[in-house]
Homo-oligomer: A and B are copies of this chain.
């Protein structure tokens, strides 16, 4: 067993799986944002040709997987596993997207940490020799999420300053036992962290402690520091959560300011697009990864990225019942060096 358990949550992979192909799909707002050029497919139709927003979300995941397969010269039957999930009740965005692909499927639920969880499990299954190719995928849809978690969008509900904007986007990353990179070299599995935040319009504050917990565990296990990465990215903490993570590390004497960013701050022009605290949703970090970030790594703009999406593990029912918001964060290291020696 060459894979080394570096700490209670962190594994260094002995056969780092490679990114083989990736694709992302976005909606209207994503197409008007600063990362528009990094999407494979953008639609101004929020239904994506389907009859409902929920079915539209399934179309996005269907297209994301289809596009990633095409770009990699693969067919669905080449995949040993798909690990996917989404925010909709019972993960119907995923299950209805996949029902015609006939692929071995493990459904996952990590809220907006889903892409981190899917990449982690896919990497471990590949490193363990259980698969040659495995896909991680997720999505979110602004209109479907709003009516499920908050208010149907036609109500024109006022948003608070700390509110975030659920991305209408999907991302799919196919990993392989063979490939030319980028490689996933480390996996850090998150723990649930609940600091008692109850404001469902302030997810950034609720999830930031989970991001801090996982990133800290990762640094402790690997002996690394923020400067050992070209980029450290959380998924969708937004402006406030991003600041909280910086503050929490500052208390430990660790400076995160230089290279720590958040996908929710990258996907949109916050002021120009009236996005308040930033983007959110499973599709936010997944679509930023499966376009802007992985393309940037392929072009050597960055050689080593710590990708750490966070999820808020609540439901409207738990909030109505007065419960606070548990968070979780799953992290993976992408490196252009297979023999990442850190």
Residues on A lying within 8 angstroms of B by beta carbon are 1, 3, 5, 8-9, 11, 51-52, 54-55, 77, 80-81, 85, 87-92, 95-96, 98-99, 101-111, 117, 120-121, 124-125, 127-130, 148, 189-194, 313-318, 321, 323, 326, 328, 330
Q: Is the CB of B90 within 8 A of A314?
A: yes
For the complex formed, measure the closest distance between the CB of A107 and the CB atoms of chain B, giving whole angstroms.
Answer: 4
* 6 sample A-B contacts, Cβ–Cβ < 8 Å, listed by A number: A90-B314, A102-B192, A104-B190, A106-B108, A106-B120, A108-B109
Query: Which B residues lie within 8 Å of A95 (CB)?
Result: 192, 313-314, 326
Q: In the complex the two chains form, what is the Cα distance from A117 to B95 in whole Å?
A: 15
Question: Which of the listed residues A88, A109, A121, A194 has the most CB atoms from chain B within 10 Å of its own CB?
Answer: A109
Inter-chain contact A99/B129, CB cutoff 8 Å? no
Assuming the contacts A1-B129, A108-B109, A125-B124, asked whether A192 and B90 have C-beta atoms less than 8 A apart, the reply is no
Given contacts A8-B104, A99-B193, A105-B328, 20 further A-B contacts (CB under 8 A): A3-B130, A54-B317, A55-B323, A81-B189, A87-B90, A88-B315, A89-B89, A89-B90, A92-B313, A92-B314, A92-B318, A95-B192, A95-B326, A99-B326, A103-B191, A105-B190, A106-B108, A106-B330, A107-B328, A148-B317
Known contacts being A128-B128, A129-B3, is A323 close to B108, with CB within 8 Å? no
Given A89-B90, A99-B326, A105-B189 contact (CB < 8 Å): yes
Copies in the complex: 2
Give Cα distance in the complex from A27 to B9, angstroms.
Answer: 34
B residues within 8 A CB of A80?
A: 5, 8
Distance, CA A119 to CA B260, complexed state (A): 36
Cross-chain contact of A315 among B9, B90, B108, B121 (Cβ < 8 A): B90
For the complex, give the distance between the alpha carbons of A270 and B1 in Å.
49
Contacts of A125 on B, CB cut-off 8 Å?
Answer: 124, 128
- Contacts A88-B315, A89-B89, A95-B313 given; does A107 touch B108 at CB 8 Å: yes
Given A103-B191, A106-B189, A321-B55, are A313 and B91 also a contact pair (CB < 8 Å)?
A: yes
Nearest 5 pairs of A and B residues by beta carbon: A128-B128, A1-B129, A95-B313, A90-B315, A104-B189
Contact with A11, one of B101, B109, B121, B130 (Cβ below 8 angstroms): B130
Cα distance A189–B85 in the bound complex, in angstroms: 16
